[in-house]
Amino acid sequence: MTATSAFITSLLTSFGIFCGLAFAFGILSKWKINHNIYYPSRILRGDGVSPSATKRNPFTWIKEAVMTSEEELVRVAGLDAAIYLNFFACILEIFGYSALFCVPVLIPIAATSHNNAIQFALDPNQTYEGFDNLAMGNVEEQTPKIWAFLVGTYWVSISTYVVLIKHYKKMIRLRGKEQAHESAKPQQFACLVRDIPAPPKHMSRREQVNTFFKKLHSDTYETCMIVTNVRKLMKIWTKYQASKRNLERAEVVFEESKTNAKPEGTRPMHRLRFFGFVGTKVDSINFYDEEVKDLARAVEIERQRTLKEEQLPAAFVFFNSRRAAAEAAQAVHAPYAMQWQVYPAPEPREVVWNNLAKSVYSRMVRSGVVYFTVFMTVLFYMIPIALISSFTTLDNLVRILPFLKVIVNYKPINTVLQAYLPQVALIVFLALLPALLMFLSRLEGIPSQSHLVRAASGKYFYFIIFNVFLGVTLFGTIFSSLAGFKELLNSKNFSVSSVVTLFGSKLPPVAAYFITFVALQFFVGYGLELSRLVPLIVYHLKKKFMCKTEKELEEAWAPGPFEYHTLVPNDILILMISMAYAVIAPMILLFALLYFAIGYVVLRNQALKVYVPDFESGGRMWPHIHARILAALFIGQITMMGYFGIKKFPYAVLVLILPLFTVFFSSICKLNYYPSFNVMSLAIASEDVKDAPPMRQIVEAYTPECLLSEEDVVYESEEKFEDARSSIGSRSVSRSNSGVLSSTEDLYML
């Protein structure tokens, strides 16, 4: 029973690592020198490190993480993080209810059956592990005991439906509360307009947009901001920023060189070519000073040119009330709906400027091409994944690479390798993907970062289903016995049902494999997450050797946001595995509960004290997650159908209703709940606003940084709005009509 011992080893080692890392966190987080790593969010907010940070006991953080209220979480970490953590709570509830039936009822039934022993007696080549006796595989075929597992399938499904409805409503409430907040946000007054048709000859784009919107929204339309192509400007601007930073750095170096021994200091010098190693030596301060001045002029010239000549067929339009913007964002504006497409504006920080003006046809073709690419990648990733899975059993590995025999035959190494090798390979392999997927999603022409994240997450999810879940299960079972593979190749009646049979007969061993996968993922993953060892080391190295200026130091400990596009698909992979095996091997539920419980605590801690969101999408990740929870349930139900068929259970057809209902349920949710996440409802938009940003600030927020000149941009409305009664309240709409500086006014007057 080597696999069982490998399983135990794996669990114990993982747990050991986790304890070590948690302990390290307990120690390291107390040191003041590390506070920038363990409390960056609090420091940036100005809340300071929690009062008792230095003397509290090592478990206080758990209490703090769990006890903090939902409101506080939303305030501190943003709605997106709150919704992500609610997703954990939701899954905990689903698995909690599921375990209530599956663990006390199904495990004893399985444990008191003897199918594995019978099969072993019939065919000693069939191996089984002690662990397998707790799974459905141990139940004899065609016995009434299987009814309990059928009930279990219904139990799990119904728990999921009920909990999902409850949580969707909760999410809508959370989002509504944020949106209706009395202090309004710039994006609530703006809409993004894409696919503006070519303007008539005598009109500028700005006039065209103003004319169109003034006719349709005569009382509420304020002004617009035409999107420009800033690619060229951006290049110069980036150089300019780098130059300024170099200058600053050189000055700091110069200051630092003024020691007591040498009060006049050493002026820093550098060479011009090949990263300062080759070429003429120059005085850095003088050189960068010159460069900064040159580039500032170049930026200004290019800025003027961009504003005049690089206008694109997209714009942000601004309204004088939340309600007007919310209503406009939901309406078809032009007779041909593909022109003048109006969308809710993304938050200013998350706008993907280069994608805004991509035409609808280009977007369509691009996403067609991207999805084809993803499809092909998913398909051809199957091959390496299949190879990895074939190495899953060490025996196979040794057979292929005989020189490994010496190492592998050493007992402890063998056990550890057996436990971890395939999982580690898989995890490393999957780590390469997200960047590629983000890049592909960007090509689609998506206008906002949060949407990009969702698109990449969705693509990653396909990979996970096809490659990890199906791939490992299917290929793992096939390759684990080469005989099985040959059998499949030789069989003339290769068909869906034969695959299902094979698939099902090997399911329980694969369940054990997945349990170790889950365990590794959560113990080691969350340990690393909590202890932040890697950022800690990187920060101290940078601090010691590289950072000179205050700004550079700040960048070195900047915590960054949650990386949802990798986090979410991984969580859903765990969810999917657990859903699929919840009834077949109910033990997995306990591990899944542990995974999501530890995740909930650790990530809540990180959300409150570490990560700082780059932008806020208003919780739009939830419908995305919700759909994938249902997909996991669907796959679980299909798996159960197949498995009941294998157990020759005549009433397996009763399970058929479940996947059908899941599809139906999903469409109900999409129709009824999704619109609440897609747009802002009029009832919410009509809530009173107490504190709104002035229009000038809104327009500025929607201007790319490189288009703003150094002096403050001043908003000047083209017309007097005295007559327009804005619902924002007069205080906030006070616009400074004085102090208009010529350098920026063309931005609004073109």
Site for a second copy in 456-495 (CB under 8 A): 492-493, 495
Rank residues 374 and 610 by Cβ distance to a second copy and give the closer one.
374
142 phi and psi angles, rounded to 5 deg: 55, 25
Q: Report the C-alpha gap between 570 and 567 in whole angstroms.
A: 5
Answer yes or no whether residue 604 interacts with a second copy by CB under 8 A: no
Please report, as residue ranges, which positions from 185 to 214 form the binding site for a second copy (by CB under 8 A).
212
Q: At what angle do helices 550-557 and 231-257 cross, to 10 degrees?
A: 110
Q: CA–CA separation, 362 vs 296, rounded Å? A: 35
The verdict on 323 binding a second copy (CB under 8 A) reads yes
Nearer to a second copy, 329 or 747 (CB): 329
Longest distance between any two alpha carbons in the chain, whole Å: 93
Q: Could you tell me which residues come within 8 angstroms of residue 642 by beta carbon, excluding any fewer than 6 positions away?
A: 500, 503, 504
Using CA atoms, how far apart are residues 433 and 429, in angstroms rounded to an integer?
8
Residue 330 within binding range of a second copy, rule CB under 8 A:
yes
Site string for a second copy, 116-155 (x = CB under 8 A): ----------------------------------------
Residue 241 beta carbon to a second copy: minimum distance, rounded to whole angstroms: 39
CB of 729 to a second copy, least distance (A): 16
Give 114 or 333: the residue with its C-beta nearer to a second copy: 333
Q: Map the footprint of a second copy across residues 216-245, applying CB under 8 A.
A: 216
Judged by CB under 8 A, the stretch of 36-44, 173-181, 527-535, 730-738 that binds a second copy is 173-181
Site string for a second copy, 679-698 (x = CB under 8 A): xxxxxx-x------------
CA–CA dist 173, 82 (Å, integer): 12
Give least dist CB 613 to a second copy, A.
24
We find the least distance from the C-beta atom of residue 355 to a second copy, in angstroms, to be 17
Residues 239-243: contacts with CB within 8 Å, 24+ apart? 239/295, 240/292, 240/295, 240/296, 240/298, 240/299, 243/288, 243/291, 243/292, 243/295
CB distance 548 to 471 below 8 Å: no
Residue 411, interface with a second copy (CB under 8 A)? no
Pick 176 or 645: Cβ nearer a second copy: 176
Residue from 52, 672, 734, 737 binding a second copy (CB under 8 A) = 672
From residue 355 to residue 394, the character string flagging contacts with a second copy as x (rule: CB under 8 A) and all else as - is -----xx--x---x---x----------------------
Closest distance between a second copy and the C-beta of residue 342, in Å?
9
Contact code string over 552-591 relative to a second copy, x by CB under 8 A: ----------------------------------------
- By C-beta, is 229 or 686 nearer to a second copy? 686
User: Which residue number, 327 or 700, has a Cβ lying nearer to a second copy?
Assistant: 327
Residue 99 and residue 578 in contact, taking contact as beta carbons nearer than 8 Å: no
- Taking the complex as a whole, how short is the minimal distance between the CB of residue 617 and a second copy, in angstroms? 18
Among candidate residues 569, 590, 568, 579, the one with its CA nearest the CA of residue 634: 579
Nearer to a second copy, 37 or 325 (CB): 325
Binding flag, residue 343, a second copy (CB under 8 A) = no
Question: Min. distance of Cβ 96 from a second copy in angstroms?
Answer: 26
Round to whole Å and give the CA distance between 749 and 14: 63
Among 274, 277, 336, 403, contact with a second copy (rule: CB under 8 A): 336
Alpha-carbon torsion (38, 44, 45, 46), positive or negative: positive
With contacts defined by CB under 8 A, name the span among 47-55, 274-282, 584-592, 673-681 that binds a second copy.
673-681
Q: Which residues of 163-200 are buried (b: 16+ CB within 10 A; e: fewer)?
A: bbeebbebbbebbbebbbbeebbbbbbbbbbbbbeebe
Q: Which stretch binds a second copy (CB under 8 A): 233-241, 271-279, 322-330, 431-439?
A: 322-330
The distance of closest approach from Cβ of residue 673 to a second copy in the complex, given in angstroms and rounded to an integer, is 7
Q: Can you list the alpha helix ranges (DSSP code H) found in 102-204?
A: 107-111, 115-122, 146-179
Neighbouring residues of 74: CB distance < 8 A, sequence distance ≥ 6 = 82, 174, 178
**Residue 331 touches a second copy, criterion: CB under 8 A:** yes
Nearest Cα residue to 747 out of 683, 690, 682, 703: 703
* Contact map string, positions 41 to 80, toward a second copy, x by CB under 8 A: ----------------------------------------
For residue 671, state whether it binds a second copy (rule: CB under 8 A). yes
Question: Should residue 673 be labelled a site residue for a second copy when binding is judged by CB under 8 A?
Answer: yes
Query: Strand 278-283 vs strand 221-228: parallel, antiparallel, or unpaired?
Result: unpaired
CA distances from 500 to 579, 631, 641, 644 (A): 18, 19, 10, 11
Binding-residue total with a second copy (CB under 8 A): 47
Choice between 332 and 541, CB closer to a second copy: 332
- DSSP string across 380-437: HHHHHHHHHHHTSSHHHHHHHSGGGHHHHHSHHHHHHHHHHHHHHHHHHHHHTHHHHH
The amino acid at 730: S
Question: How many other β-carbons are positioned within 10 Å of the β-carbon of residue 244?
Answer: 16
Find the binding residues for a second copy in span 5-34 (CB under 8 A).
none
The interface with a second copy within residues 644-663 (CB under 8 A) comprises 660
For 282-410, where are the alpha helices, taking DSSP H only? 284-309, 322-328, 360-390, 394-400, 405-409
CB 581 within 8 A of CB 633: no
Tell me whether residue 230 or residue 680 sits nearer to a second copy (CB atom): 680
User: Do 575 and 91 meet the contact criterion of CB atoms below 8 Å apart?
Assistant: yes
Q: Residues 492 to 511: which contact a second copy by CB under 8 A? A: 492-493, 495
Instruction: Give the residue among 599, 520, 685, 668 at the shortest CA–CA distance from 165.
Output: 668
The residues of the shown chain that bind a second copy, judged by CB under 8 A, are 169, 172-173, 176, 180, 212, 215-216, 323, 326-327, 330-338, 340, 360-361, 364, 368, 372, 492-493, 495, 660, 664, 667-668, 671-676, 678-684, 686
